[in-house]
Amino acid sequence: MREGPVVGAEEGPGDRTKAGDDRTRAAAGGKGPRPRRRGRTLAQQEARAGLTMLSPTLIVVLAMVVVPILWTIIISFQSLRLRNLRTRLFDFSFTFDNFQTVLTSAGFLEALKVTLIYSIVGTFLSIGLGLVAALVVRKPFKGRTLVRASMLLPYVAPVVAVTFVWQIMLNPELGVINAIGADWLGWKEPVAFLEQQSGTLSIFGFDLGVPTALIIVILYQAWRYFPFSFLFILARLQALPGELDEAARVDGATPLQRFWRITLPQLQGVIALLTVLRFIWTFNEFDDIYLLTQGGAGTEVVSVRVFRYLTGRGDIGAAAALSLVLALLLVVLLFLYFRFFVGRVEEADAI
């Protein structure tokens, strides 16, 4: 609790009662170094200054974020299309058609399924990789700074550039992956990784049907976003007190035991936070999938579908309705996560 610069300087910490505040404010108003405006206490001035300084933020966020969100709700009940934008924008004859359209359209459930698989597996993989990466560069070694920087590259590089490199690497004719597969692994024909909806993977003589493009898109997302988890887990790792680990070592716990019993439990908090953040972002992800596959070959997630409604069909109302469905679903999933998962973790901690 801060009381503002002047008050804090003039008074002892124990004296911050309401009356005390008023007294100093009066003093500051009377013979302060700078003449204060009449009739306003310091607290009022401070509140005014605070709100004034925050107002640009409030205006920008209100105008460009909050109002648009509310407006989306309205649009989702309008039959608004790109071509009747001029005439129908203020036509508020509400209809449920948009929701009916998007919820009953062919491929909606499939898109939902793909979104869930993509975000759950993607979140899991990117955090897992981040954890492994953080553990191996935890201790200093020569060239560590460079290794750490290189591990952050996928995350900081422009999405358009990295998706194109992946596309070309995976290209059936020109790509290096297929060339390596043909030269060294004996692939008989090139694999169109990003255009193939389902392929067969032969492991030990068993033929497994696999959704090729979806797997690639998930691997890509793990590759691109593990640096985020890596960064946060590494920061936490390096702030861990060494005593516990040292004590366990003296007691004869092996490195793996120390990891499972000492280190991992201390990372629980940051991993839980990362799970929520990464899940939200992956669930809402658009750029990466759109640029990699345009949502083709069984990789159409809901946000790509929203984009299709918006630009392909010019059906603004349906696009708004579907994006709202996406947002609501996320809220429900997060609620379930906090209710059942985090609750349990805390209970376990209490015991």
Partner 1 sequence: MSRTDVETAGVGERPQPPRQPAARPSRPRPPLSREVVETRILGVLKWVTIAFFVIATIFPFYYMVMLSIRSIEDVALDPGALWPPRGISLAAFGEVLRSVDDGGQGFLTFLRNSALIAFTSVVVTLVVSILGAYAIARLEFFGRRQVHFLFLAVYLFPAILLAIPLFVFFTRIGLRGSLFGLILVYTSQIVPVTIHMLRNYFETVPESLEEAAALDGASRLTTIRKVALPLAMPAIMATSLFVFMIAWNEFLFALLFLVENRENWTVSLGLSQLAGSIEVAKTTLMAGSVILTIPIIVLFFATERLLVEGLTAGAEKG
264 touches partner 1 (CB under 8 A): no
Residue 12 or 209 with smaller CB distance to partner 1: 12
162 touches partner 1 (CB under 8 A): yes
Q: CB of residue 209 vs partner 1: minimum separation in angstroms? A: 26
Residue 345 tokens, joined:
């973790």
Residue 108 CB partners (closer than 8 Å, separation 6+): 102, 305
Q: CB of residue 59 vs partner 1: minimum separation in angstroms? A: 9
Near partner 1 by CB under 8 A, which window of 120-128, 210-218, 279-287, 338-346? Answer: 279-287
Exposure b/e, 216-242, CB count within 10 A at least 16 = b: bbbebbbbbbbbbbbbbbbebbeeeee
Q: CB of residue 110 vs partner 1: minimum separation in angstroms? A: 18
Torsions phi, psi of 210, nearest 5? -130, 140
Helix locations, 32-107, DSSP H: 42-61, 67-76, 85-88, 97-104
What track of x and - describes contact with partner 1 for positions 125 through 154 (by CB under 8 A)?
-------xx--xx-------x-xxxxxxxx
Residue 35 or 209 with smaller CB distance to partner 1: 35
Q: By C-alpha distance, which of 174, 176, 153 is closest to 225?
A: 153
H/E run at residue 202: strand 199-203
In this chain, which of 203, 256, 350, 351 binds partner 1, going by CB under 8 A? 256
In this chain, which of 17, 22, 26, 60 binds partner 1, going by CB under 8 A? 60
* Alpha-carbon dihedral angle through residues 47, 49, 54, 59, given to the nearest 10 degrees: 100
Q: CB of residue 19 vs partner 1: minimum separation in angstroms? A: 17
In this chain, which of 17, 94, 255, 342 binds partner 1, going by CB under 8 A? 255
Residue 340 tokens, joined:
């059942």
- Between CA 213 and CA 222, with CA 218 as vertex, the angle to 5 degrees is 145
* CA-to-CA dists, residue 102 to 63, 70, 125, angstroms: 28, 19, 30
Near partner 1 by CB under 8 A, which window of 92-100, 101-109, 196-204, 259-267? Answer: 259-267
The SS3 of residue 58 is helix
171 touches partner 1 (CB under 8 A): yes
Near partner 1 by CB under 8 A, which window of 99-107, 196-204, 223-231, 341-349? Answer: 223-231
69 touches partner 1 (CB under 8 A): yes
3 touches partner 1 (CB under 8 A): yes
Residue 41 or 196 with smaller CB distance to partner 1: 41
Near partner 1 by CB under 8 A, which window of 95-103, 104-112, 159-167, 338-346? Answer: 159-167
Residues within window 314-333 making contact with partner 1, judged by CB under 8 A:
316, 319-320, 323-324, 326-327, 330-331
Residue 185 and residue 188: Cα distance in Å, rounded?
9
Contact 163, 292 (CB under 8 A): yes
